Structure 1
Amino acid sequence: MAVSVSVAVVLALILVLMIRSKSIKGGPAIVAILFGFFLASTDIAPSVNRFMNSIGDTISQIHF
């Protein structure tokens, strides 16, 4: 749960920065948000969550 909240916050910040820097307009940003919202309610959502969790686990195992 903590990983998904962190990822959501980071992605939201990236989206805000992209809107402010004019690299993405408001319309496409809304489409991206709606796509993520509706993707979360499909049968693929658990697979996406597992994939993101495995990426988070892999990153956490990297020692600098």
Structure 2
Amino acid sequence: MVVSVSAVLLLLLLTAMLMRHRALKASHAVTCVLLGFVLASSSLAPSIQSTVSSTADLVSTFRP
């Protein structure tokens, strides 16, 4: 759950920054959100979740 929340917050921050700099319009952001909901309810959701978890585990092992 923590990985999901942090990934959502990161994507939300990135989307907000793109919208602020006029690189992403509101309609594009809505489309991205809707795509996320569709992917979350599809049969690809477990694969996406395991990929995100594996990537988060890999990144968490790096030391600055």
TM-score, normalized by length of structure 1? 0.92
Counterpart AA for 2:8: A
Q: Identify unmatched segments of 5+ residues in structure 1.
A: none
Identity %: 34
**Secondary structure in structure 2 of the residue aligned to 1:42:** coil
Aligned to 2:43: 43
2:58 is equivalent to residue 63 of structure 1 = no
1:33 corresponding residue in structure 2: 33
SS in 1 for 2:35: helix
- 2:52 aligns to what? 52
* Long gaps (5+) in structure 2: none
Q: State the distance in 2 between where 1:7 and 1:30 align.
A: 17
What is the CA deviation profile of residues 14-44 of structure 1, one whole-angstrom value per residue up to 9, with x for unaligned ones?
Answer: 1011111100111111111100111100010
Partner of 1:14: 14
